[in-house]
Structure 1
Amino acid sequence: MKAIKNKTALITGASSGIGEAFAYELAKQGSNLILTARSQDKLNFLADKISREYNVKVDVFAGDLLQKDTPSQLYSQIKQKGLSIDILINNAGFGKWTNFLDETTQQYEDMIEININALVKLCHLVLPDMLQKREGAIINVASTGALQPCPYVAVYCASKSFVLDFSEALYGEYSKKGITITALCPGNTTTGFQSVAKANTKGMPADTPNEVAKQGIKALLQNKSFKIVGKMNYVQSFLPRFLTRKAMINVVSGMMNSKVNG
Structure 2
Amino acid sequence: MKNERLRGKTIVITGASGGLGEQLAYMCAQNGANLYLLARNQEKLDRISASIREQYNVKCTPIALDVSKYDHIPKVFQRIYDQAGEIDVLVNNAGYGVFTEAGEVELADLEGMFAVNVVGLIACTKEVIPFMCKRKSGHIINIASQAGKLATPKSSVYSATKHAVLGYTNSLRMEMSQCGVFVTAVNPGPIRTGFFQTADPDGSYLENLGRFILNPKKVADNIVAAMLTNRREINMPSWMNWVGTLHTLMPNTVERLGRKAFFKK
The letter for the 2-side match of 1:201 is L
Distance across 1 between alignment mates of 2:4 and 2:148: 28
Change (3 A) 1:93 1:252: farther
Match of 1:167 in 2: 169
Change (3 A) 1:9 1:214: same
Instruction: Give the fraction of aligned pairs with identical amino acids, expressed as a percent.
Output: 31
Deviation of residue 76 (structure 1)?
2.6
Deviation of residue 232 (structure 1)?
2.3
Change (3 A) 1:72 1:227: same
Deviation of residue 2 (structure 1)?
8.6
Mapped contact 2:153–2:262 kept (Cα < 8 A) = yes
Deviation of residue 7 (structure 1)?
0.6
Does residue 1:255 correspond to 2:257, yes or no? no
Distance across 2 between alignment mates of 1:257 and 1:203: 10
Mapped contact 2:208–2:264 kept (Cα < 8 A) = no
Does residue 1:108 correspond to 2:110, yes or no? yes
Q: How does 1:235-250 map to 2 (within 5 A)?
A: 235-243=242-250, 245-250=251-256
Change (3 A) 1:75 1:252: farther
Does residue 1:227 correspond to 2:229, yes or no? no
Q: How does 1:72-151 map to 2 (within 5 A)?
A: 72-151=74-153
Deviates more, 1:93-102 or 1:134-143: 93-102
The letter for the 2-side match of 1:202 is E
Residue deviations 1:176-198 (CA, integer Å, cap 9, x gap): 42211100001111101111101
The letter for the 2-side match of 1:209 is P
The letter for the 2-side match of 1:59 is T
Does residue 1:201 correspond to 2:206, yes or no? yes
The letter for the 1-side match of 2:261 is M
Mapped contact 1:189–1:207 kept (Cα < 8 A) = yes
Deviation of residue 83 (structure 1)?
4.3
Match of 1:192 in 2: 194
Deviates more, 1:161-170 or 1:116-125: 161-170
Distance across 2 between alignment mates of 1:7 and 1:241: 38
Distance across 2 between alignment mates of 1:116 and 1:252: 28
Mapped contact 1:150–1:252 kept (Cα < 8 A) = no
Deviation of residue 207 (structure 1)?
1.5
Distance across 1 between alignment mates of 2:84 and 2:24: 23
Distance across 2 between alignment mates of 1:226 and 1:2: 21
Deviation of residue 253 (structure 1)?
5.1
The letter for the 2-side match of 1:10 is V
Residue deviations 1:149-206 (CA, integer Å, cap 9, x gap): 3231011111111111211221111124221110000111110111110161224211
The letter for the 1-side match of 2:221 is K
Change (3 A) 1:27 1:82: closer
C-alpha RMSD of matched pairs (Å) = 2.0
Residue deviations 1:8-63 (CA, integer Å, cap 9, x gap): 01100001001001101111111100001111111111001001111110011102
TM norm structure 1: 0.91
Match of 1:218 in 2: 225
Secondary structure, counterpart of 1:30 in structure 2? coil
Mapped contact 1:34–1:61 kept (Cα < 8 A) = yes
Mapped contact 1:228–1:234 kept (Cα < 8 A) = yes
Change (3 A) 1:220 1:169: farther
Match of 2:50 in 1: 48
Distance across 1 between alignment mates of 2:192 and 2:127: 31
Match of 2:185 in 1: 183
Deviation of residue 226 (structure 1)?
1.1
Distance across 1 between alignment mates of 2:109 and 2:157: 10
Deviation of residue 212 (structure 1)?
0.9
Mapped contact 1:140–1:182 kept (Cα < 8 A) = yes
Change (3 A) 1:258 1:212: closer
Distance across 2 between alignment mates of 1:82 and 1:222: 22
